[in-house]
Amino acid sequence: MARGSAGSGRRVALFRSADPAARSGPQDGRRSHTPLVNINPFTPDPVLVQSSAGQRIARKRSHWNDSCGEDMDASDAEMEEEEIVPPTKRLTMMESNMMSRYASEFHELEKIGSGEFGSVFKCVKRLDGCIYAIKRSKKPLAGSVDEQNALREVYAHAVLGQHPHVVRYYSAWAEDDHMLIQNEYCNGGTLSDVVSENYRRMHFLSEMELKDLLLQVARGLKYIHSTALVHMDIKPSNIFISRKTAVDECDEDEEDGLSTSVIYKIGDLGHVTRVNNPQVEEGDSRFLANEVLQEDYSNLTKADVFALALTVISASGAEPLPTNGEKWHEIRHGRLPPVPQVLSQEFLGLLKLMIHPDPTRRPSASELIRHPVLLTAARMSADQLRVELNAEKFKNALLQKELKKAQMAKAAAEEKVLSSDRVLTRSTTLAGAAGGRASRLIGKKMNRSVSLTIY
């Protein structure tokens, strides 16, 4: 449910003047532009500079690129101000329609997901041959609440840039009343897929794996929160999994010493809002903190922490979380749902602290990644992987030694065969020569032998 409207200083607006005189050219010797673009409400405050007259907004090009996480050439770094007249309305889906970029630039492989907002397709980009996930919204979109959510997701992705635990964003565009978002393709699906499959097989993530999950998502949340944004919809279906290839498995994350073949990434930023002056769109009620339901937005970052704890509980094999009712309220009073496996008291204590009824008592994302329980898990995981790596290196050394011995034996055998061939050839040559000499001696100038027998 949407709460409130855009703040007075952060309104999403179309940069197009309704005054014809504004299009006639510069009025005071300075360049005046009216490009058809939106203001990103999630850019840092210093990026938006309000003029003294209160009529124009100036952006410096170098700041524009930095705030949206895009690369910039040296020639673009000029500190040139562009005076832009804010229009009466913003750019909508219908106004940016064009020839289908989706059909011309991408080859659709398969549908990999579907939700209330739209569907996600696995696609190959025709130009670079790489695989991407294309999220396509449902119709109708223009002028609806879904359009606001779609734009919010694009704005958040563009500002957040790149982080190993946030799904990477590449581009977005609108066509045929649809919003399309090109994101990184995560080859492991979502955590929700893993939870469902594990629940069906009655095989659950171990405590070490659960700690790994908690640690990685907490790092993603720390990054999001550091930009003064909150996710507001953390749940298994919004945690994406990227499985490393064998070549990458030996890489080690220097931030916390954790090396793993499974990388968890936060995605679906349609509910992202600012910590200050938030516009809260309530997420899934199963993971919603009670204070948000009561419209207390003073600790929104801790609402993400609350949802993360229940996400880990879901991954542990617990029964599906309630959407309302008595059990729903029990969780909001700090009681953990039962899990079908034995977890350490230290880990359960941390999860219980993360759903504390008082949000100020919950640890922050920064505190989570430094928590002794998770640091121990990170060190243990790294040590275990080092042992496995050393074992593989030892096996490889043995194989190299055996291969060298085999090569030497083969070379010796080949040398023996060659030596035998040389001896045989020499013997044959010598025998032939001796036979020739004997034939020359017999019947020629040699005296015949005479045998005398005396009786």
Q: Per the annotation, where are the binding residues? A: 112-120, 135, 238, 268
Q: How far apart are CA 259 and CA 237, in angstroms?
A: 24
Cβ–Cβ < 8 Å for 220, 265: yes
In order of 116, 206, 229, 253, the CA distances from 195 in angstroms are: 20, 12, 28, 26
Which residues contribute to the annotated binding site for ATP?
112-120, 135
On the CB side of 285, CA atoms within 13 Å amount to 10
Q: How far apart are CA 333 and CA 328, in angstroms?
A: 9
3-state secondary structure the chain: CECCCCCCCCCCCECCCCCHHHHCCCCCCCCEECCCCECCCCCCHHHCEECCCCCCEEEEHHHHHHHCCCCCCHHHCCCCEEEECCCCCCCCCHHHCCCCHHHHHEEEEEEEEECCCEEEEEEEECCCCCEEEEEEECCCCCCCHHHHHHHHHHHHHHHHCCECCECCEEEEEEECCEEEEEEECCCCCEHHHHHHHHHHHCCCCCHHHHHHHHHHHHHHHHHHHHCCEECCCCCHHHEEEEECCCCCCCCCCCCCCCCCCEEEEECCCCCCEECCCCCCECCCHHHCCHHHHCCCCCCHHHHHHHHHHHHHHHHCCCCCCCCCCHHHHHHHCCCCCCCCCCCCHHHHHHHHHHCCCCHHHCCCHHHHHCCHHHHHHHHHHHHHHHHHHHHHHHHHHHHHHHHHHHHHHHHHHHHHHHHHHHHHHHHHHHHHHHHHHHHHHCCCCCCCCCCCCCC
Cβ–Cβ < 8 Å for 158, 165: no
Tell me which residues are annotated as active site: 233
Which residues contribute to the annotated binding site for Mg(2+)?
238, 268
Structure tokens at 86: 């804010």
On the CB side of 245, CA atoms within 13 Å amount to 1
Q: How far apart are CA 249 and CA 389, in angstroms?
A: 10
